[in-house]
């Protein structure tokens, strides 16, 4: 027991634990925003959108475009969030209509390559438009503060991230489980042929869901913009993390995306504390273990 | 030499609220041509899948000659001489006709993991003999997917015979065929089976087909073997008529039987 | 059949003479074509023959390269045992993870291979002492005449030709037929006595072995090993090459690899935004030429 406490000294320090749990929650909420989109898109179209990280990245760059390097006021910041969300919705819809919908019935390798094409294009496009140098944007001064939560000092912005993430989660839940449209989406996820036979315009549902997924990724990107370094390689790490979350939670499962995101968020937070050198390996080991024991993920459906 | 080619003892299988197999017992003699009939949902496919290793029974045993084969995977059963065909024609659509048969013959000879030999002319005589036996001599190079439905069924039979089986399980062997083709098709199977001494168990919906070739018929109903016997006995069995024709139909059939009796007497 | 053998011999003869008039740069391009041809054909054993789409196939290319690099640069091995060890390590890793991967099919198989690639990448990128971390490994120099561009060319030609010949034989072997059978119809394969899991596992190990060879050869050619080679994005490359050339003929991925390398070389020379051009091309090809280049021309002929 003593050896354990020696190896992981934070186990005896409640302040550190609380702070890490909250940091993990903030991280988890952002992961949820990205992963839920990825999962929803898969659930409906059976396509794994490898370009999802690119959508996140575009959101971050859009944030930079709106806010710039000068310290923004709160209104500008919120406007920026809306701009990124709506902007990425448009981008997502455009991509789905122009390219993705042509390959829904193609072999999986083709689908993979098409979303991969998005990765390649986006990676260079942001370099072309914004230049290769890394960017950062500051927080509005009013948010750039700390608060006291559960007896622990914590950055206000991260607390806000948790709140926003939770709000979006609730909104999505309401959309999927309490609206007629949401019923259609969930039904289409389970059996799209039947829905088509019932005369439902499934094509439009696909387009909208892709747009929503993109918008979520864009929002996440915009939210992350002030606390991360924005560069052309941003999309790669994000996709990796999102993939881990949906693999663990279960492809196509909305609750799975939440559970997976929260789990990975905590694993990241405590992983950094426990194994600072190899902390990035922790989520992958977790994913590999889950996929081996339960290939469809913790809450995924059997195909 | 065992008394029975296949014996099924007390087989049970439960699926989501349905008892698909409810104490099924079967005993098939070597060389027999056994038909298993029954209305939809009677449990014929389930029984077949359990005998051929595609499904594990909840309870009970399956014996092939004296060997307990309960729950063994299909690929092992192929090796000991059990072959099965499927209701929906099951062939290798991406392979040529010859390759379809070759893959089975190679598998029988335990060559499926041979990475340095070449498959091109492997066991060509044996393959050609099989194709000839089922009546497909000149279609070797054709892609299997291009064959007509009837030819695909023949190919499926050729592949099923590749392991020189002692037991052949045919799941709806004439399904999808035009009525004229069906009797001819099952007669071909019957002839081959007699020639090679193969025990055959087949499921069927078409009664003409069944009565044309079956030695013994087993009637399945709601997961149980309702009655078993020679074709004439089954044809006149009132319980069988009831399950096929419903209550009213059963009454009508009984009336028809009674009429036939009085007519004969008179 | 004889036409194929004659064609192959002719090709090798032409390739043997090719370096004479060429500059080092173009010799290097040819070497990359050969390495990638092997890589693509190995990948296609899984995809075209076995129906298995591995999202994380670059793992084995990368492991082969890293084994060579670590043995040579960090542990001072001679080049020959290092090159021999590379595919062995790659296929050993494949043998272990393959046990778990082949129980799955379709997208879950792909995902698990992808997962293991990300794991491998994370481990290597963090191991600075052993694997050079972010920088990778450099200085994989082969001493003597073999280490010159021409020398590397001929060594690669010999090794790739041999490996492709072996892979061709494997493809047309009873194993290859069983593999194609299970791709066509899994249940039927089981019914005719094929142990599908074992076939898939063996294909996985064989494919990874040759991917490891191509990775090692690439390390020799560039005298370096880059962590990018293990990045998840690298796994798109074999998929692109196989699809480009067509997965249903043995020669397809070879053509795909050559086209890919030429495209990459030419476009990289034209603009620094070659990724974007590549992305557009890939999307264009997928949408316009679904049967790959080989298939596209075959259809034209019919």
Q: Is the pLDDT of residue C4 over 80?
A: no
**Any CB–CB contact under 8 A between C127 and chain A?**
no
H helices within chain A, ranges in order? 2-7, 14-45, 52-67, 74-98, 108-130, 156-178, 180-190, 192-197, 202-224, 234-249, 254-274, 281-293
Which chain C residue's Cα is nearest to B93? C184
- Inter-chain touch A117–C276, beta carbons under 8 Å: no
Q: Is the pLDDT of residue B105 over 70?
A: yes
Q: Residue C192 is nearest to which of B104, B111, B117, comparing CB atoms?
A: B104
B170, containing H or E segment: strand B167-171
- Inter-chain touch A291–C236, beta carbons under 8 Å: no
Confidence of residue B266 (pLDDT cuts 50, 70, 90): very low
Residue C302, pLDDT score: 47
Q: β-strand B59-64 against B6-15: which pairing, if any?
A: antiparallel
In whole angstroms, give the CA distance from residue A33 to residue A218: 9
H helices within chain C, ranges in order? 2-17, 24-44, 58-69, 79-101, 106-126, 128-131, 149-171, 174-184, 186-191, 196-222, 236-245, 252-270, 274-288, 292-301
The parent domain of residue C195 ranges over 23-231
In whole angstroms, give the CA distance from residue A168 to residue A4: 38
Q: At what angle do helices C292-301 and C236-245 cross, to 10 degrees?
A: 10
Residue A163: Cβ within 10 Å count: 12
| pLDDT, tens digit (0-9, with 9 covering 90-100), for A10-46 | 777 888 888 889 999 999 999 999 999 999 999 888 8
Task: With beta carbons under 8 A apart, name residues in chain C contacting A280.
Answer: 122, 125-126
Asked if residue A190 lies in contact with residue A80, where contact means CB atoms within 8 angstroms, the answer is no
Q: Is the pLDDT of residue B259 over 90?
A: no
Task: With beta carbons under 8 A apart, name residues in chain C contacting A113.
Answer: 236, 239-240, 243, 282-283, 286
| pLDDT, tens digit (0-9, with 9 covering 90-100), for C118-155 | 999 999 998 888 888 888 999 888 888 888 888 999 99
Average pLDDT estimate for C96-104: 94
Q: Residue B118 is nearest to which of C169, C196, C202, comparing CB atoms?
A: C169
Q: Which of the two residues, C278 and C2, has the higher pLDDT score?
A: C278
- Inter-chain touch C279–A303, beta carbons under 8 Å: no
Average pLDDT, chain A: 89
Asked if residue C237 lies in contact with residue C123, where contact means CB atoms within 8 angstroms, the answer is no
Confidence of residue B261 (pLDDT cuts 50, 70, 90): low
Residue C293 lies in a domain: no
Which chain B residue's Cα is nearest to C50? B94
Q: Which of helix, strand or coil describes residue B8?
A: strand
B27, containing H or E segment: strand B18-28
Residue B247, pLDDT score: 61
Confidence of residue C2 (pLDDT cuts 50, 70, 90): low
User: Hey, which residues 204-243 in chain C have their CB within 8 Å of chain B?
Assistant: 206
Residue B186, pLDDT score: 92
In whole angstroms, give the CA distance from residue C192 to residue B52: 11
Q: Residue A112 is nearest to which of C55, C123, C231, comparing CB atoms?
A: C55
Residue C299 lies in a domain: no
Residue B31, pLDDT score: 92
Per-range mean pLDDT, top range of B180-189, C254-263, C291-300: C254-263
Q: Which of the two residues, A3 and C191, has the higher pLDDT score?
A: C191
- Inter-chain touch B112–C170, beta carbons under 8 Å: no
In whole angstroms, give the CA distance from residue A63 to residue B75: 59
Residue A140, pLDDT score: 87
Which chain C residue's Cα is nearest to B156? C188
Q: Which of helix, strand or coil describes residue A139?
A: coil
Average pLDDT estimate for B232-237: 85
| pLDDT, tens digit (0-9, with 9 covering 90-100), for A90-143 | 999 999 999 998 888 888 899 999 999 999 999 999 999 999 988 888 888 888
Confidence of residue A147 (pLDDT cuts 50, 70, 90): confident
Residue among A114, A85, A119 nearest A232 (CA): A119
**Any CB–CB contact under 8 A between C183 and chain B?**
yes
Confidence of residue C196 (pLDDT cuts 50, 70, 90): very high
Q: Is the pLDDT of residue B164 over 60?
A: yes
Task: With beta carbons under 8 A apart, name residues in chain B contacting C193.
Answer: 74-76, 78-79, 104, 107-108, 112, 163
Q: Is the pLDDT of residue A2 over 70?
A: yes
Confidence of residue C222 (pLDDT cuts 50, 70, 90): very high
Compute the half-sphere exposure of residue B61: CA atoms within 13 Å on the CB side of its CA.
9
**Any CB–CB contact under 8 A between B78 and chain C?**
yes
Q: Is the pLDDT of residue A166 over 80?
A: yes
| pLDDT, tens digit (0-9, with 9 covering 90-100), for A238-287 | 999 999 999 999 988 999 999 999 999 999 998 888 888 888 889 999 99
Secondary structure letter of residue C73 according to DSSP: I
Min distance B91 CA to chain C CA atoms (Å): 7
- Inter-chain touch C173–B74, beta carbons under 8 Å: no
Longest dimension (CA), chain B: 77
Q: Is the dihedral of CA C235, C236, C242, C248 positive or negative?
A: positive
Task: With beta carbons under 8 A apart, name residues in chain B contacting C190.
Answer: 54, 73-75
How is C148-216 classified by DSSP, letter by letter? SHHHHHHHHHHHHHHHHHHHHHHHTSHHHHHHHHHHH-HHHHHHTT--HHHHHHHHHHHHHHHHHHHHH
Average pLDDT, chain C: 91
Quote the pTM value.
Answer: 0.90
How is B59-91 classified by DSSP, letter by letter? EEEEEETTEE-TT--HHHHHHTTEEEE-SS---
Residue C294, pLDDT score: 62
Residue C33 lies in a domain: yes
**Any CB–CB contact under 8 A between C112 and chain A?**
yes
Q: Is the dihedral of CA C279, C284, C285, C287 positive or negative?
A: positive
Query: What is the count of residue pairs from A and C with beta carbons less than 8 Å apart?
Result: 126
Min distance A226 CA to chain C CA atoms (Å): 25
How many domains does chain C fold into?
A: 1
Q: Which of the two residues, A178 and C18, has the higher pLDDT score?
A: A178
Q: Is the pLDDT of residue C231 over 80?
A: yes
| pLDDT, tens digit (0-9, with 9 covering 90-100), for B48-103 | 999 988 899 999 999 998 899 998 988 889 989 999 888 887 899 999 999 999 99
Q: Residue B121: what are its φ and ψ, rounded to 5°?
A: -110, 15
Residue C30 lies in a domain: yes
Residue C141, pLDDT score: 85
Q: Is the pLDDT of residue A9 over 70?
A: yes
ipTM attached to this prediction? 0.89
Burial of A187 (0-12, 13-18, 19+ CB in 10 A): middle
Q: What percent of chain C has pLDDT over 70?
A: 95
Task: Go through C220-242 and write b for each residue having 16 or more CB atoms within 10 A of its CB, e for each that does not.
Answer: bbbbbbbbebbbbbbbbbbbbbb
């Amino acid at each position: 027991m003593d050896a354990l406490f020696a190896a992981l000294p934070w186990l005896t320090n409640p302040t550190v634990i609380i702070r890490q749990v909250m940091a993990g929650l903030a991280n988890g909420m952002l992961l949820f925003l990205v992963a839920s989109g990825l999962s929803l898109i898969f659930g409906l179209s059976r396509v794994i959108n490898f370009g999802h990280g690119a959508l996140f990245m575009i959101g971050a760059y859009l944030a930079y475009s709106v806010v710039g390097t000068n310290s923004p006021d709160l209104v500008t910041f919120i406007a920026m969030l809306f701009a990124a969300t709506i902007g990425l919705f448009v981008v997502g819809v455009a991509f789905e209509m122009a390219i993705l919908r042509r390959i829904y019935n193609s072999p999986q390798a083709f689908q993979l390559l098409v979303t991969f094409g998005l990765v390649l294009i986006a990676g260079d496009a942001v370099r072309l438009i914004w230049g290769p140098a890394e960017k950062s944007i500051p927080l509005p001064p009013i948010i750039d503060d700390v608060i006291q939560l559960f007896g622990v000092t914590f950055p206000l912005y991260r607390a806000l991230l948790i709140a926003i993430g939770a709000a979006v989660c609730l909104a999505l839940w309401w959309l999927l489980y309490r609206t007629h449209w949401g019923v259609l989406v969930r039904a289409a996820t389970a059996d799209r042929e039947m829905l088509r036979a019932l005369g439902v315009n499934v094509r439009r549902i696909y387009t909208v869901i892709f747009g929503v997924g993109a918008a979520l990724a864009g929002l996440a990107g915009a939210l992350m913009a002030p606390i991360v370094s924005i560069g052309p390689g941003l999309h790669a790490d994000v996709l990796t993390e999102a993939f881990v979350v949906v693999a663990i939670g279960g492809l196509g499962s909305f609750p799975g995306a939440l559970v997976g995101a929260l789990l990975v968020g905590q694993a990241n937070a405590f992983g950094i504390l426990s194994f600072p050198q190899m902390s990035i390996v922790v989520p992958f080991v977790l994913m590999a273990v889950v996929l081996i024991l339960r290939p469809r993920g913790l809450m995924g459906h059997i195909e | 030499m065992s008394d029975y080619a296949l014996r099924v003892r007390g087989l049970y299988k439960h699926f989501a609220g349905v008892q698909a197999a409810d104490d099924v017992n079967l005993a098939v003699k070597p060389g027999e041509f056994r038909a298993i009939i029954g209305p939809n949902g009677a449990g014929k496919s389930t029984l077949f899948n359990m005998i051929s290793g595609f499904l594990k029974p909840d309870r009970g045993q399956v014996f092939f000659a004296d060997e307990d084969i309960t729950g063994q995977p299909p690929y092992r059963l192929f090796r000991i001489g059990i072959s099965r065909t499927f209701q929906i024609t099951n062939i290798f659509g991406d392979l040529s006709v010859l390759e379809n048969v070759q893959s089975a013959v190679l598998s029988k000879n335990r060559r499926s993991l041979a990475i340095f030999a070449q498959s091109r002319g492997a066991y060509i005589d044996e393959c050609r003999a099989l194709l000839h036996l089922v009546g497909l001599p000149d279609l070797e190079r054709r892609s299997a997917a291009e064959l007509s439905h009837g030819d695909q069924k023949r190919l499926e039979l050729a592949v099923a015979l590749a392991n020189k089986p002692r037991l052949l399980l045919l799941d709806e062997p004439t399904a999808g065929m035009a009525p004229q083709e069906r009797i001819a098709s099952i007669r071909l199977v019957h002839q081959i089976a007699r020639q090679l001494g193969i025990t055959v168990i087949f499921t069927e919906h078409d009664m003409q087909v069944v009565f044309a070739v079956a030695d013994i018929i087993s009637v399945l109903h709601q997961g149980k073997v309702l009655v078993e016997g020679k074709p004439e006995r089954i044809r006149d069995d009132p319980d069988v008529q009831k399950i096929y024709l419903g209550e009213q139909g059963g009454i009508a059939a009984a009336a028809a039987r009674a009429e036939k009796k009085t007519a004969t007497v008179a | 059949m004889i036409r194929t053998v004659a064609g192959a011999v002719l090709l090798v003869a032409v390739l043997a003479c090719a370096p004479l008039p060429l500059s080092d740069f173009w010799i290097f391009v040819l070497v990359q074509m050969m390495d990638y041809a092997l890589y693509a054909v190995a990948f296609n054993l899984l995809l075209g023959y076995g129906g298995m789409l591995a999202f994380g196939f670059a793992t084995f290319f990368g492991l082969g390269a890293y084994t060579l690099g670590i043995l040579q640069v960090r542990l001072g091995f001679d080049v020959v045992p290092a090159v021999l060890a590379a595919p062995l390590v790659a296929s050993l890793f494949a043998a272990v993870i393959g046990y778990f991967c082949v129980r799955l099919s379709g997208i879950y198989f792909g995902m698990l291979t992808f997962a293991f690639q990300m794991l491998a990448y994370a481990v290597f990128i963090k191991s600075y002492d052993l694997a050079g971390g972010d920088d990778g490994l450099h200085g994989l120099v082969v001493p003597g005449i073999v280490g010159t561009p021409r020398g590397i060319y001929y060594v690669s030609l010999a090794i790739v030709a041999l490996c492709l010949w072996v892979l061709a034989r494997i493809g047309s072997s009873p194993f290859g037929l069983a593999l194609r059978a299970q791709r066509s119809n899994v249940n039927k394969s089981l019914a005719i006595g094929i142990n599908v899991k074992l076939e898939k596992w063996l294909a996985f190990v064989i494919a990874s072995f040759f991917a490891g060879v191509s990775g090692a050869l690439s390390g020799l050619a560039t005298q370096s090993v880059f962590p990018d080679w293990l990045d998840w994005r690298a796994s798109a490359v074999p998929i692109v090459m196989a699809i480009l050339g067509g997965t249903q003929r043995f020669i397809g991925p070879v053509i795909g690899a050559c086209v890919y390398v030429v495209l990459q070389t030419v476009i990289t020379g034209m603009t620094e935004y070659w990724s974007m051009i590549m992305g557009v091309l890939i999307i264009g090809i997928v949408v316009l030429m679904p049967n790959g280049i080989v298939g596209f021309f075959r259809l034209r002929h019919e």
